[in-house]
Amino acid sequence: MKNAGVYFAYNILLFLTLPLLIPYLLWRVIAGKETTESLLTKLGRYASEKPPKGGIWIHAVSVGEVNAAAPLAELLASRLKRPVIFSVSTRTGMAIAKKRLGGKVFLTWFPLDFPFSVSLALARFSPSVAVVLETEIWPNFIYGASYSGVKCVVVNGRISDRSFGRYKTLRWFVSAILGKMELLLMQSQGDAERAVALGADKGRVRVVGNVKFDLPALEPSGKAVAMENFGVPAGTTVVVFASTHPGEEEIFLDTARKLSAGRERLFFVVAPRHVERAPDVCRLCGKFGFNPVVRSSGKKCGVGEILVLDTMGELARLYEAADVAVMGGSFVRHGGQNPLEASAWGAPVVFGPHMENFREISQKLTDAGGAMRAADKEELLTTIDEWLARPEKGREAGEKGRETVVGNRGALEKTAKCLEELLDGI
């Protein structure tokens, strides 16, 4: 099928799903996941302020992608004479972007992938280069940008085993999109080979590594100070259940209850991936015999209580207080959450069997001895119990994880240079 036919078929499908999309978009506004302003912007109705033109447009969907792309945006903004436009799709992503990048780049909402909204967005910003993260590829945006002469680039590209299987069945469609990309900067050789197998031009695919290893180093305050800042009781051993998802909190809280038996100075933190779920997590804590204290209350915690992190952007700093970090999203079929922030602080990490979204990262950490993969809740309990019984083993694993993070840095600089070279040729 010719490329034009591919996009025609895609837009026919969009048109057919409008009866479902319109109520869904309205529901997002009512539910507080979207504001009227953000939705109108995504549909092409922009504020009157004059936007920058001819720059580089970087798109990061939500919190994880923003954290990965923000250092790249900062680096390019400091080096380039062109403006940097940075777009997001979610309210949580915008909150983090404002905190990280406010005043450094031009922040906006990414358009919904309708032909008219994409056309209005591209006409407004007239970028020279458009950058999308990982596998976040929107057909109308890529097609419209390429048609307008914009160079499209995939940064930190990855294609998981599960995604590859799905994409292969739609190769006729995926190859048309990948064929519009000027550069595909992939995380690993395996990701690069999958991209080529799906139709990407081999000459445009490069392996540069994973920019998530280049997370900015936070100024250490010391474990005792970090514990005090978060209201964690002094002298306790801290286990953080990080970025948890529905269906996991029960596993983690049951594990916490069993670990607490016979241990008086053990303290737990639960950080739900979506902070709006904090009330649900608090109710679960009560069912497992824990008294929850939400971070936003500002209260100091006592031994036997459990801290529920219901604030945005603090998890990375909290890891400084952690003796063990358990990664959420990995004990349900979500694909895992990023363990690098925990490892960067030297916390030993344990995750479940589902780390497909961080396949390369999790493999590097386990190979180095900086993390353990638990097949189920029984292995999770055994692993944490061993690190608590032999804290020197936990500290050794944490140090190996920290060394792995440091040893794999460099992708950010390689990515920036590739983009600079591309811009120089325009």
CATH T-level topology, domain 223-407? Rossmann fold (3.40.50)
- Structure-token match 């967005």, residue found: 121
Give tens-digit pLDDT for 260-300.
Answer: 998 989 999 999 999 999 999 999 999 999 999 999 999 99
* Poorest-pLDDT segment among 49-58, 270-279, 370-379: 49-58
Distances (CA, A) of 89 to 35, 96, 136, 212, 320: 12, 12, 11, 20, 30
Domain boundaries, the chain: 47-209+410-424, 223-407
Give the pLDDT mean for 42-63: 91
Task: Report the alpha-carbon distance of residue 221 to residue 323 in Å, rounded.
Answer: 15
Domain 47-209+410-424 shares a fold with domain 223-407:
yes
Q: Alpha helix (H) ranges present in 238-376?
A: 249-260, 278-287, 315-318, 340-344, 359-368
**Strand-pair partners of 306:** 268, 292
CB 25 within 8 A of CB 34: yes
pTM for the full model?
A: 0.88
Terminal-residue alpha carbon distance, the chain? 31
Give tens-digit pLDDT for 222-268.
Answer: 999 999 999 999 999 999 999 999 999 999 999 999 999 989 899 99
Alpha-carbon radius of gyration of the chain: 22
Q: Pairing state of beta strands 266-272 and 237-244?
A: parallel
Task: Report the alpha-carbon distance of residue 406 to residue 412 in Å, rounded.
Answer: 13
CB 72 within 8 A of CB 211: yes
User: For residue 338, how many C-alpha atoms fall within 13 Å in the half-sphere facing its CB?
Assistant: 19
In this structure, which CATH number among 3.20.20.150, 3.60.9.10, 3.40.50.11720, 3.40.50.1820 belongs to the domain 47-209+410-424?
Answer: 3.40.50.11720
Exposed, middle or buried by CB within 10 Å (0-12, 13-18, 19+), for 220? exposed
